[in-house]
Amino acid sequence: MQKYYFFQTKNSCLFFLVTRHFSPVLIYYICSDFFSNQIIRQMKKMLPLLLMFIALISCDRSKPDYKSELQGKWICNEINYLITPTNEFFVMDFFPNNNLFLAQEYDLTEGAKWLETNSFTYSIDEETININGTNALGEDMDLSMKIKRVGSNHLDYQEVRTVVNGMDISEGRIFSLYKKEDVSAENFLGSWEIMQILKTDSLIPSKHKIDFKADGSFDLYNYEDAGWVKNEYMSNHYYVHGDILILNKEYIENTPPHYEHRSFTISNISGENITLDNFERKAGSSDLQGFRHKLIRN
């Protein structure tokens, strides 16, 4: 709602506008003696139009710049305000050229696998984000979501439309995402022994070792009587997005190959130690249980 006030003295006229955003706009001019009463009356008639124009400009500038706020990498860790299992986290990266990167776990016949694609585009209409493209499985996607809240590092949106290959599977869910700069993958390069941390903070050896390579692959070793033995029947890859470490394991001895995916939150990197957390669903329940692991450089 806008209000304007008019005050006139002998030689001057004062106009004051208050916008609905409580941002005062003050217009002042001197009415010299050569202004006739008729001119002043005409200016009074034009004043409401002038003030409306200024108010419209002010309102337009106050609209959120959602495109700028969405730029960057977002990680979803909550659905309907409930923490999801770490394996169900997904990543969205918005680019200024309206391209969109999407990465998530897919449940395949051969197992669960983390897949990534750059084949999406997005547009923004008022508070609605529209996304179109083809996912990592080659399925046509038509998505629409309404922004409920967005800040420098937090985004909530509600699912409006989720159409996959022409079938609408939307449920009106609310997704919560956070923004995080990528942890450098160089922190992981090399060989690490995997330990499980109990609630008492004591460490339990898992008898497994992981060796991260610079090309994005990793090898797994098992401790046997003769020492560390590399598993030769696996082809493995890792990814780092924000503070999430993603591991894809592929058992190539199977025909067809069998896949397994695990994701972890990178909780701490300190010298020769890395702490990883993940949440998993309890067997036969929707409740979650947490696990903490420590990587100790070997």
Residues 172 and 121 in one domain: yes
Q: How many domains does the chain divide into?
A: 3
32 plus 107 within the same structural domain:
no
In this structure, the answer to whether residues 198 and 283 fall within a common structural domain is yes
Residues 226-254 have pLDDT tens digits of 899 999 999 999 999 999 999 999 998 87
Place of tokens 């969205």: 92
**Cα–Cα distance, 31 to 29 (Å, whole number):** 6
Please tell me which residue, 7 or 180, carries the higher pLDDT value: 180
The CATH number of whichever domain residue 120 belongs to comes to 2.40.128.20
Determine the structural domain holding residue 34 and report its residue range: 3-61
251 and 194 in one domain? yes
41 sits in which H/E element: helix 37-61
Nearest to 86 by CA among 249, 244, 229: 244
pLDDT averaged over every residue in the chain? 85
Domain-ending residue, one of 19, 41, 61: 61
- Reported as a pLDDT band with limits 50, 70 and 90, residue 193 is very high
Distance between CA 190 and CA 139 in Å, rounded?
37
Q: Are 87 and 278 in contact (CB under 8 A)?
A: yes
* Same-domain status, 241 and 271: yes
> What would the pLDDT profile of 41-99 be if each residue is shown by its tens digit?
665 566 666 556 555 554 545 678 999 999 999 999 999 999 999 999 999 999 999 99
Q: What confidence category does residue 1 fall into, taking pLDDT thresholds of 50, 70 and 90? A: very low
CA dihedral of residues 133, 136, 137, 138 (deg, nearest 10):
30
Show which of 41, 61, 81 is a domain's final residue.
61
pTM to 2 decimals? 0.78
Q: How many CB atoms sit inside 10 A of residue 230's CB? A: 12
